[in-house]
Amino acid sequence: MKLLLLNGPNLNFLGIREKGVYGTEDYGYLVRMMKEKAEREGHELDIYQSNFEGGLIDKIQEAYYNGTEGIIINPGAFTHYSYALRDALSSVEIPKVEVHISNVHKREEFRHTSVTAPVCDGQVLGLGLKGYALAMDYLTGRE
Ligand code: DQA
C-alpha cells in the first residue's frame, strides 16, 4: 500500500521537548521505526514533517494526485484550531487516522478539542509512539 505519514509543528522536536509528556525518543527514531515497519510489511511510506500549516495541506493535496491509500497524521497543535487543515483532510477520500502521542484528555482544556478528528476515520491517543504503528496496522488491515 502507498501510505503517507504527516507530523505537524514541533514534532521534529521529539526527544527535546517536554520529555515527560512525549518521551525521550527523537523524531529520527520515529522515522526509522515507521520506515522499517513499512518495509518489513511491504508498504511504501512517505514521511513528512512541517511546522507550517500550508506544507501539510500541500502534502494532503499531493496525496490526492499520487494515489496515496492511507494517511497517518499527528497535526500537533493544529489539531485544536486549524480549519484549513480539517478542510484539506475532508477534501480527500483517503482513509485517515489521527495520532496523538500524549493523552490530550488528561491535559489542558484547549487540547480536548480536535477539529481534525471528525474528518478522520479514527484516532489513537495516549499510547506514545506505538500509536503511529497501530494507526498503520489499521490502515493496512492488520489485526
Ligand atoms: C500532540 C498533542 C498536541 O496538543 C500538541 O500540541 C502536540 C502533540 C501529541 O502528539 O500528543 O504538538 O499532538
Nearest CA to ligand 1 atom 7: 76
Specify the pLDDT at position 142.
61
Q: pTM higher than 0.90, yes or no?
A: yes
Residues with a CB atom less than 6 Å from ligand 1: 10, 74, 76-77, 79, 100-102, 104, 111
Return d(Cα 1, Cα 70) in angstroms, integer. 8
Q: What is the mean pLDDT of each run of 10 residues along the chain (143 residues)?
A: 98 96 96 98 98 98 98 98 98 98 97 98 98 98 66
CATH number at residue 108: 3.40.50.9100
Specify the pLDDT at position 143.
43
ipTM: 0.99
List, by residue number, the catalytic residues.
22, 100
Q: State which residues form the domain around 61.
A: 2-140
Return d(Cα 133, Cα 109) in angstroms, integer. 27
CB neighbourhood size of 21 (10 A): 11
